[in-house]
A and B are shown apart, each in its own frame.
Chain A
Amino acid sequence: MGTAPSYHNGSKPTQELETVVIRFAGDSGDGMQLTGTQFTSESAIAGNDIATLPDFPAEIRAPAGTLAGVSGFQLNFSSREVFTPGDRPDVLVVMNPAAYAVNIADLVDGGALIVDTDGFSKPNLRKAGYEDNPLDARGMPERYRIFRIPISKLTSEALKDLQLPTKTVSRCKNFFTLGLCSWLYSRPTEATVGWIKAKFRTAELIEANLRAFNAGWAFGETTDAFALRYTVGSAHIPPGRYTSMTGNKAVAYGLMAAAAKADKKLYYASYPITPASDILHELAEQKNFGVVTFQAEDEIAAAASAVGASFAGAIGVTGTSGPGLSLKLETIGLAVMVELPLVVVDVQRGGPSTGLPTKPEQADLLQAIFGRHGESPVAVLAPSSPTDCFHAAFQAVATAIKYMTPVILLSDGFLANGSKPWAIPSFKDLPDIPAKFWSKNIGFHPYLRDEDTLSRPWVVPGTAGLEHRIGGLEKDYDSGNISYIAENHDRMVRVRASKIARIVDELPDIEAIGPEDADVLVVGWGSTLGSIEAAIRDLAAEGIGVAHAHLRWMNPLEPGLDKLLARYRKVLVPELNLGQLVRLLRDRFMVDAIPINRMEGRPFKAGELAAEIRKHVRTPPRVVVGGAEAR
């Protein structure tokens, strides 16, 4: 067993690249998610800015070799700022013909295609719908740089004297692939070696995977197939300590930190659902923080128990995805009525119904804001990046407590599983969240209201003298008793609405980023931030200046939006739905906002978005200078 190869060494010439988009694709069982995650860690450690997009099927193990079973992981790593996982890969690694079939159309012309030729057997070709090997098709060598490597065979050769079962050997080929790609892009390998040593249970498996990894690296170094290797330099990232953070993990950490800063117990109740389950998994792990997790019998019970926990004085949180949010809506309405803190995390996925369980979409926005019977206002927050999920979750808890209200956090499948480098915060630097239980019993009733926030007191069982009853029936404004009086109901409905509307009082005015003279404003929300920024950067490179404002608060909408929208000739609203925010803006501000919509179960491609935006930009006037045309 060898020591890890050093990425400094190497005999082949090295070329410097600014940005690379690589996609690993194989069968669900090929370990492509792991390969991608480790390659991401290596790239982050190399100092690149990164963004990732895992893309896996809903089926856990679809029949091997089939199109349905293809799992992919895309990484954009760069020496400049990265906003998205990249539109199209420059490098595509495919482990079998199905992975080739699903992904080849995305590979850029002239891109590198790295193929495990051992995966391209006759039966595998047939499963992917090929009679003949598509790699041999006419025009292929001109279109792509193809690297045919018998990865499976080379892996088993490297492991042959370990006498492992064939299946085990076959499972190591992803580390061969990782080793090869790590060599190709001069990645630091210490993290991967450490990972292998920490994660595999037996010495035998550690040895096998290390050997496969090293063999991949050595193959790159010695084969004639690769004449060059590449480096991607460090990005200008603010100094500090970083770790790679996914949105789901960030939500979990944000909830935990907020509960601790409020000096309350975190109670997280959930029913397993893709792509939200990882939040439950992460929190279930953290028992020594006093976190209580409850895997409920269904989505409704998860929500209802979270409301109960809040009544009892904990921070009640429930997490889910679209179909689960539909089931929780009645309970959220109860939380609106009883005015208790509740955080609902909705990791949006393609809908309706079961839809595209593993793919992102932003089509739950209107459901989150309006999807309940009665006038049922709640606060709705949308994080814009995997790391922003931490802050948004923290803010959701603080808001839920301050306003005694449900807060819906609209994450999505892209944020949940995608990752970005996270500047590790110091716990002591996070703000405290004021959260005092009410104990004064002079003039008490359960619907007394704070003058500023209109929130009612949080009184927990166990407080002597303040025994009271709450419930879903309408309550009297002045006594908190049940009331069916017409005027009182009208008043209470308006008070509940005002309470949510008043959240804007603590928010800063929204601002746009972009050139002063821009007359087109792009308004986005949630996970489209990166795509919009990338599109605008590309347009700026062409000399087209476009402004961008990104909403974080979906309800209430951030202050200053009315003035901002009025400043621009055109307002464009890109969303991964058929136009939901755009309706809110039109309705609220009477602005002729123009929707840009995609429902493809993936983030916007920056190039596509730039093309859409370009349609609305005035052609810059041509200036004739001394007979020559200039722009």
Chain B
Amino acid sequence: MSEITETTTTTAPAAKLSRKEFVSDQDVRWCPGCGDYAILAQVQKVMPELGVPRENVVFVSGIGCSSRFPYYMNTYGFHGIHGRAPAIASGIKIARPDLSVWIVTGDGDGLSIGGNHLIHLLRRNLDVNVLLFNNEIYGLTKGQYSPTSRVGQKTKSSPYGVVDNPFDTAALALGAGATFVARTVDVDQKHLQSVLHRAAAHTGTSFVEILQNCPIFNDGVFSDVTDGEGHENRQLLLEHGKPMVFGPENDRKGIRLGPGMEPEIVRMDSTKADEILVHDERNDAIAFFLASLAWQPGPGIERLFPVPLGVLRAVERPSYERSVYQQIEAVTRKRGPGDFDELFASGDSWTVS
């Protein structure tokens, strides 16, 4: 039982590593132009900056395009089965709390077939990081709609348009009790890096939704928000303690609460600054409020708000595995280390002579 901890404590202090050392020797096999390349590059860049020895990092994934990710990281990696990455990662983290565990999943893997595992992971608050690549489509199975596809979207399996209502990913995570919820985009390197740093630093489950473009089956699905013309009007960059303002320099807008507590977009040049909502990562009401903001032109429920990018929620709660080991320690203190001979004879026993 001691062997596991020994292995980790003998790890030498991490020498300064570079991005290169996190790049595996495997050929990357995503489609040209896939948003996953950009995400991989940023993760490989951020990893050496975290100060965690490479051998203590584990990437775990399920099935789907995004789930090939572990093969490209020169760390420990586990490419699991569809939807089960959070469960596999839970076993890894509970068995070995010293490891830095990263789950890479997608909107189908994480929110459809693996939805149950994801919400329970968030509820338990294991100290792991979840990177959910959301491209609102099934890519690896060649273009069926996913649980985040929009109402009316035409795909191979919805030739007349999707009739399912999609998940609000951030709202789902918040509803499951996630202690850290953030959203970023594949095309904004700086923003992606800063969110990854915040996620890594958070104790507890860090849930990061990354809006990711699938050039083959759902090209440009987020361009309104990420890098298309006028995208400044459709993204709200969040900063803790700062007012919620957005838009180009010559057309700044802000968000305030309307009379029915509904979000209202107002022009900054005709609004008093103190009417604008100030972001607070620790405020649950604000987190849920932000999760309800979306850029969704119809059909379906139309919502025309800027999409919040950044950290929606970051609060402290003891991590699951820490509580598990605290309990083990407490019981061991009280009862003393287990003795098998005592245990075996702990029921009514009798002697035959």
Contact B55 A462 (CB under 8 A): yes
A257-B348 CB under 8 A given contacts A294-B90, A468-B77: no
Asked if B234 is an interface residue, CB under 8 A from chain A, the answer is no
Name which of A41, A307, A469, A471 has the most chain B CB atoms within 10 A of its CB. Answer: A469
Asked if A481 is an interface residue, CB under 8 A from chain B, the answer is yes
Contact partner, B345, options A241, A466, A468, A481, Cβ 8 Å: A241
Contact B91 A307 (CB under 8 A): yes
A-B Cβ contacts below 8 A, count: 240
Contacts of B24 in A (CB 8 A): 469
Contacts of B160 in A (CB 8 A): none
Contacts of B350 in A (CB 8 A): 44-45, 47, 241-243
A464-B331 CB under 8 A given contacts A292-B94, A306-B91: no
Interface residues of B in 71-85 (CB under 8 A from A): 71, 73-81, 84
Please report the C-alpha to C-alpha distance between residue A245 and residue B92 in the assembled complex, in whole angstroms.
Answer: 33
Stretch in contact with the other chain, from B4-12, B268-276, B280-288: B4-12
Asked if A109 is an interface residue, CB under 8 A from chain B, the answer is no
A-B contact pairs, 12 of them (CB 8 A): A44-B350, A243-B349, A304-B91, A305-B87, A307-B91, A308-B60, A309-B92, A309-B94, A313-B96, A314-B91, A464-B11, A472-B81
The interface size of chain A toward B, counting residues with CB under 8 Å, comes to: 78
Contact B95 A314 (CB under 8 A): yes
Asked if B250 is an interface residue, CB under 8 A from chain A, the answer is no
Contact partner, A265, options B95, B334, B349, Cβ 8 Å: B95
Contacts of B94 in A (CB 8 A): 267, 292, 294, 305, 309
Contact A331 B81 (CB under 8 A): yes
Contact B352 A47 (CB under 8 A): yes
Asked if B116 is an interface residue, CB under 8 A from chain A, the answer is yes
Stretch in contact with the other chain, from B202-210, B255-263, B335-343: B335-343
Contact B352 A237 (CB under 8 A): yes
The interface bits of chain A over 300-324 (1 if a CB of B lies within 8 angstroms of the residue's CB, else 0) are 1111111111111110100000000
Contact A292 B343 (CB under 8 A): no
Please report the C-alpha to C-alpha distance between residue A302 and residue B349 in the assembled complex, in whole angstroms.
Answer: 34
Contact B91 A312 (CB under 8 A): yes
Contacts of A304 in B (CB 8 A): 80-81, 84, 87-88, 91, 117
Contacts of B75 in A (CB 8 A): 467
For the A-B complex with A290-B1, A468-B76 known, give 15 more contacts whose Cβ atoms are closer than 8 Å: A47-B350, A243-B350, A263-B2, A265-B1, A267-B94, A288-B338, A290-B328, A300-B84, A301-B84, A314-B91, A334-B81, A424-B345, A427-B340, A460-B4, A462-B98
Contact B77 A308 (CB under 8 A): no
Contact B116 A297 (CB under 8 A): yes
Q: Determine how close the nearest CB of chain A comes to the CB of B83; give it in whole angstroms.
A: 8
Please report the C-alpha to C-alpha distance between residue A259 and residue B338 in the assembled complex, in whole angstroms.
Answer: 13
Asked if A162 is an interface residue, CB under 8 A from chain B, the answer is no
Asked if B32 is an interface residue, CB under 8 A from chain A, the answer is no
Name which of B77, B345, B350 has the most chain A CB atoms within 10 A of its CB. Answer: B350
Asked if B327 is an interface residue, CB under 8 A from chain A, the answer is yes
Q: Determine how close the nearest CB of chain A comes to the CB of B66; give it in whole angstroms.
A: 14
Q: Determine how close the nearest CB of chain A comes to the CB of B5; give it in whole angstroms.
A: 9
Please report the C-alpha to C-alpha distance between residue A309 and residue B337 in the assembled complex, in whole angstroms.
Answer: 22
Contact A471 B344 (CB under 8 A): no
Contact A287 B78 (CB under 8 A): no
Please report the C-alpha to C-alpha distance between residue A466 and residue B76 in the assembled complex, in whole angstroms.
Answer: 8
Q: Determine how close the nearest CB of chain B comes to the CB of A357; give it in whole angstroms.
A: 22
Q: Which residue of A lies closest to B82 (CB)?
A: A330
Contact B324 A292 (CB under 8 A): yes
Q: Which residue of B lies closest to A338 (CB)?
A: B78
Asked if B254 is an interface residue, CB under 8 A from chain A, the answer is no
Contact partner, A301, options B74, B116, B340, Cβ 8 Å: B116
Contact A312 B96 (CB under 8 A): yes
Please report the C-alpha to C-alpha distance between residue A237 and residue B350 in the assembled complex, in whole angstroms.
Answer: 12
Contacts of A473 in B (CB 8 A): 79
The interface bits of chain A over 268-303 (1 if a CB of B lies within 8 angstroms of the residue's CB, else 0) are 010000000000000000111110101011101111
Contact B352 A238 (CB under 8 A): yes
Residues of A within 8 A of B (CB): 41, 44-45, 47, 191, 194-195, 234, 237-245, 253, 256-257, 259-260, 263-265, 267, 269, 286-290, 292, 294, 296-298, 300-314, 316, 330-331, 334, 338, 424-427, 437, 460-473, 481-482
Asked if B231 is an interface residue, CB under 8 A from chain A, the answer is no
Contact B55 A424 (CB under 8 A): no
Please report the C-alpha to C-alpha distance between residue A45 and residue B80 in the assembled complex, in whole angstroms.
Answer: 51
Contact partner, B58, options A298, A461, A482, Cβ 8 Å: A461
Contacts of A468 in B (CB 8 A): 76-77
Contact B344 A427 (CB under 8 A): yes
Asked if B26 is an interface residue, CB under 8 A from chain A, the answer is yes
Contacts of A301 in B (CB 8 A): 84, 86-87, 90, 116-117, 120
Q: Determine how close the nearest CB of chain A comes to the CB of B254; give it in whole angstroms.
A: 41
Please report the C-alpha to C-alpha distance between residue A234 and residue B353 in the assembled complex, in whole angstroms.
Answer: 11
Shortest Cβ-Cβ A-B pairs, 5 listed: A471-B79, A308-B91, A289-B338, A305-B91, A469-B77
Contacts of A312 in B (CB 8 A): 4, 58, 91-93, 95-96, 99
Please report the C-alpha to C-alpha distance between residue A289 and residue B93 in the assembled complex, in whole angstroms.
Answer: 19
Please report the C-alpha to C-alpha distance between residue A195 and residue B349 in the assembled complex, in whole angstroms.
Answer: 12
Contact B90 A305 (CB under 8 A): yes
Contact B7 A313 (CB under 8 A): yes
Please report the C-alpha to C-alpha distance between residue A470 and residue B80 in the assembled complex, in whole angstroms.
Answer: 8
Please report the C-alpha to C-alpha distance between residue A471 and residue B80 in the assembled complex, in whole angstroms.
Answer: 5
Contact A286 B91 (CB under 8 A): no
Please report the C-alpha to C-alpha distance between residue A286 and residue B340 in the assembled complex, in whole angstroms.
Answer: 10
Please report the C-alpha to C-alpha distance between residue A269 and residue B1 in the assembled complex, in whole angstroms.
Answer: 18
Asked if B3 is an interface residue, CB under 8 A from chain A, the answer is yes
Asked if B18 is an interface residue, CB under 8 A from chain A, the answer is no
Q: Which residue of B lies closest to A390 (CB)?
A: B344
Asked if B187 is an interface residue, CB under 8 A from chain A, the answer is no
Contact partner, B116, options A294, A298, A460, Cβ 8 Å: A298
Contact A288 B79 (CB under 8 A): no
Q: Which residue of A lies closest to B61 (CB)?
A: A471
Contact B335 A269 (CB under 8 A): no
Q: Which residue of B lies closest to A425 (CB)?
A: B344
Asked if B53 is an interface residue, CB under 8 A from chain A, the answer is yes
Contacts of A464 in B (CB 8 A): 11-12, 53-55
Asked if B241 is an interface residue, CB under 8 A from chain A, the answer is no
Contact A242 B352 (CB under 8 A): yes
Contacts of B88 in A (CB 8 A): 304-305, 307-308, 311
Please report the C-alpha to C-alpha distance between residue A253 and residue B353 in the assembled complex, in whole angstroms.
Answer: 25
Asked if B351 is an interface residue, CB under 8 A from chain A, the answer is yes
Contact A294 B99 (CB under 8 A): no
A462-B352 CB under 8 A given contacts A287-B332, A301-B90, A469-B79: no
Q: Which residue of B lies closest to A237 (CB)?
A: B352
Contacts of A239 in B (CB 8 A): 351-353
Asked if B347 is an interface residue, CB under 8 A from chain A, the answer is yes
Q: Which residue of A lies closest to B118 (CB)?
A: A297
Please report the C-alpha to C-alpha distance between residue A47 and residue B76 in the assembled complex, in whole angstroms.
Answer: 56
Q: Determine how close the nearest CB of chain A comes to the CB of B333; give it in whole angstroms.
A: 9
Contacts of B247 in A (CB 8 A): none
Asked if B157 is an interface residue, CB under 8 A from chain A, the answer is no
Contacts of A481 in B (CB 8 A): 26
Contact A297 B338 (CB under 8 A): no
Contact A243 B3 (CB under 8 A): no
Contact partner, B347, options A243, A259, A427, Cβ 8 Å: A243
Please report the C-alpha to C-alpha distance between residue A316 and residue B96 in the assembled complex, in whole angstroms.
Answer: 12
Asked if B165 is an interface residue, CB under 8 A from chain A, the answer is no
Please report the C-alpha to C-alpha distance between residue A309 and residue B327 in the assembled complex, in whole angstroms.
Answer: 19
